[in-house]
Each structure stands twice: as structure tokens, then as C-alpha cells.
Amino acid sequence: MNKTLLKYLPENAVPHCLDLIRASEVNLKIVNQRVTRHGDYRLLPDGSHQITVNATSNKYRFLITLIHEIAHLVAFEKYGRRIKPHGLEWKRTFQYLMLPFIRPEIFPSSLLPILAKHFRNPKASSTTDSSLSMALKAYDIPSDKIQVFELPSGSIFKLYNGKLFKKGQRKVKRYECIEVSSGRVYLFQPHAEVELVIKK
């Protein structure tokens, strides 16, 4: 387990992560990248706990996702299964579990103030916090994907599933985009990664 975690986590984060995994008695599975989620936690029918995290070269994203999912397990065990998955109990648990990791021995100094701000009120996903999502992207392997906010209005873009959309106007925090085939309107996060098809 130690060798595996060293591949995916910042080195100085490994000992404490191992302690959390053992204390939680959780089965950790590292799987191929899924587009719809970074990780998940499940209570299995036999009563055991399983956390699944996407394999990624971005060690900082992996660490945040791992602690996010352990926080689900710990919060459910402490407060009961009736709590909201991303409610106050989970937020407090996530904050508490992340606190030992938010230091310069683990995260680059450029990420620390962004993480400190994020963990004042952590969101259901790091991807819904634009500042944190874009800061973490700097540590991803470069790709030919572009983020929705970078596209000119009226551009046509494609999702991982092949569906085409036309970028519209920003509404509060997200962009209204029209699915080309159906004419239906969908809301996209500014930093959602897409493939440009036609630039306006």
C-alpha cells in the first residue's frame, strides 16, 4: 500500500493517509479516470467500507479527493446515515481531516492560500470551486481540452460523450449552453473541460 500511495500522493502526505485508511478500515480502490467523478465512498452489503479514487498524475487532486471520501465515511459513522452527504457534518469532518495536510511540506506555496479559502466552507466537489479547480489544473498533464469560460460566445464545443453544444451567456456563476441536436439548455461550470469544434 505504501508504494502505491507514493505513486499518487505527495510523499509527505503518505504516512498520515495510511493512518487514516487503517483507522477507517476502508478498502481503497484506484481506478481508471472517470469523467463524471473524481472519487466515491460506498458502504458495501457486507458492512465493509470502500473508497474509489481516480488514478491521476495530479497528486494534489488525488489527496483532496481521498480525504473528501474518507470524510464521508467518518461523518456517516459519527453522525449517522441520515445526514446530508455534503451537509454541515461532512464539511466539518472534511475541514478537520484536511487541516494536517494544508502546509508547505505537502502543497506548493501557490496552492496554500487557495486551499485555505476553499476549506472555510468546502464544496461538494473541488471542481465547483473555480479558483481551486483552475489552480489544480496547473499540475495536470497538459491536454488539448479547453475550458468553457475561455470560449467565445457562440462557439460549438463537444463533450467526452460526443454531444455538441453552443456556448451562450453567463448566468450568475455558470454558462447557458444549447445542445445542438435537441435545442435544450444546459448549465456549464466555467472551468468544465471541453473540445472546441467551431470557434466564433
Confidence band, pLDDT 50/70/90 cuts, at residue 123: confident
Q: Quote the percentage of the chain above a pLDDT of 70.
A: 98
Strand partners, 185: 178
SS3 content of the chain, % helix, strand, coil (to 5): 40, 25, 40
Q: What is the mean pLDDT of residues 155-171?
A: 92
Burial of 14 (0-12, 13-18, 19+ CB in 10 A): buried
Any idea which of 3-17, 87-101, 160-174 has the lowest mean pLDDT? 160-174
Residue 11 has pLDDT above 90, yes or no: yes
Q: What angle do CA 41, 195, 179 make, to 5 degrees?
A: 85
Question: What does the block give as the cell for 179?
Answer: 445542445
pTM higher than 0.85 = no
- pLDDT tens-digit series, residues 109-120: 999 999 999 999
Model pLDDT, residue 13: 97
Model pLDDT, residue 190: 83
- pLDDT tens-digit series, residues 25-65: 999 999 987 666 789 999 999 999 999 999 988 999 999 99
- pLDDT tens-digit series, residues 60-110: 999 999 999 999 999 999 999 999 999 999 999 999 999 999 999 999 999
Q: Give me the domains of the chain, ranges plus CATH numbers.
A: 2-137 (3.30.2010), 146-198 (2.30.30.30)
Model pLDDT, residue 35: 62
